[in-house]
Structure 1
Amino acid sequence: MTPTHFLLTIVSGVTGTITMTAVMYLYAKLSRKDTKVVHILGSMITGTTNKNEEGKGKKLTAGSLGHLGVGLLFALMYFLFWNWGVFEVSWIDSFWVGAISGTIAIIVWRLYFALHLHPPKISFVHYFIALFIAHIVFGITTVNIFRLITDSPEFWYQLNKKVSEGASAMLLV
């Protein structure tokens, strides 16, 4: 990974995470259910599940940093999958990678809720629906932001293919 690719992956991951968070908050507004991922994660990290103002800044900071960190990890995993040729930087593949990420996120969150000493009292059905939709948006945003700001990236699998094709062509001559 070149420094440029790393920076572009970070930018696309941050953009995807912000967009995903907005979708979770929009879902909360429309459904009137608590799906505010930063607040929920922050309260679970800090152990302050109360609804009052006490520790609000600490919860928001912990939740924001935690969510952003996980978003960047997902974006870096996407970059690795591109490099391994698992999927392409395209609209359809970005949808599927978002859906797969959403499924993984639901499993991880379900485990986190089950293992946490004092999980928040939320509607899991609504939270997981919002989480799945938001991850599809995350995948589409992250992959396509990378595609838009990258000037025709050449990934390892493409370079290896070119080398193989070049070697094959030389043998045929």
Structure 2
Amino acid sequence: MKTIEKIIIAAVVGTTLMTLYSYRKAQRENSEFVEPVLINKLVDNSKHLPDMPVNHPIGWLMHYSIGIGFVAAYWLIWQKALHKPTFLKIAIIGSASGLIGIVTWKLLFAQHDNPPKNDREAYYQQLFIAHIIFSATALATYKRLDDMERSSFKRYNR
């Protein structure tokens, strides 16, 4: 399996679990926390973008594309420093990702003429945890795919 395929699969798994967590928190807090929905609202409420049809997939496509970008960055870090990821290293990467996510969303909300309404403080708290979930599951998925490939390679090349 090619590296890009493993990155995409890991990103889809991580982004999906992150988004499920965001859905659950949104329900519990009765506030909009789901990233693709918020992206769609930013697009829909923008004066600078063309009108989109109802229920367009832009937010979902962007959310999963950003997930792929994060996993590609993790792969680069993995090659340089994460040869053997530990819980601490994954927590650090997840925390850094969470901080990047929070700063990005703060900038998006601040720069937008009509940003969606939600409980910002609660959103940023759940976003931080969501990124740790994303990082842990994406890295674990990538590592599992890599380990499976290596064990298959060894088995067939004896």
Q: TM-score, normalised by structure 2?
A: 0.84
Following superposition, the deviation at residue 126 of structure 1 comes to 1.2
The match for 2:119 is 123
Could you tell which deviates more after superposition, 128-137 or 38-47? Answer: 38-47
Q: Using the alignment, how far apart are the partners of 1:90 and 1:150 within structure 2?
A: 16
Q: Using the alignment, how far apart are the partners of 2:26 and 2:105 within structure 1?
A: 17
SS at match of 1:42: helix
1:106 lines up with 2:102 in the alignment = yes
Q: Using the alignment, how far apart are the partners of 1:91 and 1:40 within structure 2?
A: 30
Q: Using the alignment, how far apart are the partners of 2:144 and 2:67 within structure 1?
A: 19
| Equivalent residue for 1:19, pick from 13, 17, 20 | 17
SS at match of 2:55: helix
The match for 2:155 is none
Segments of 5+ residues of structure 1 without an aligned counterpart are 49-53, 155-173
| Equivalent residue for 1:92, pick from 73, 78, 88 | 88
Following superposition, the deviation at residue 151 of structure 1 comes to 2.1
Following superposition, the deviation at residue 46 of structure 1 comes to 3.0
Q: Using the alignment, how far apart are the partners of 2:146 and 2:118 within structure 1?
A: 40
Q: Using the alignment, how far apart are the partners of 2:149 and 2:81 within structure 1?
A: 13
For the pair shown, the structure with the greater C-alpha radius of gyration is: 1
The match for 2:154 is none
Q: TM-score, normalised by structure 1?
A: 0.77
Following superposition, the deviation at residue 153 of structure 1 comes to 8.4
Residue correspondences, number: 145
Q: Using the alignment, how far apart are the partners of 1:88 and 1:76 within structure 2?
A: 17
1:140 lines up with 2:136 in the alignment = yes
1:66 and 1:39, CA in 2 relative to 1: closer, same or farther beyond 3 A?
same
Q: Over aligned residue pairs, what C-alpha RMSD do you find?
A: 2.1
Task: Give the AA of the match of 1:129.
Answer: Q
- Aligned residues of 2:40 and 2:58 also touching (Cα < 8 A): yes
Following superposition, the deviation at residue 38 of structure 1 comes to 1.2
- Aligned residues of 2:99 and 2:128 also touching (Cα < 8 A): yes
- Aligned residues of 1:90 and 1:143 also touching (Cα < 8 A): no
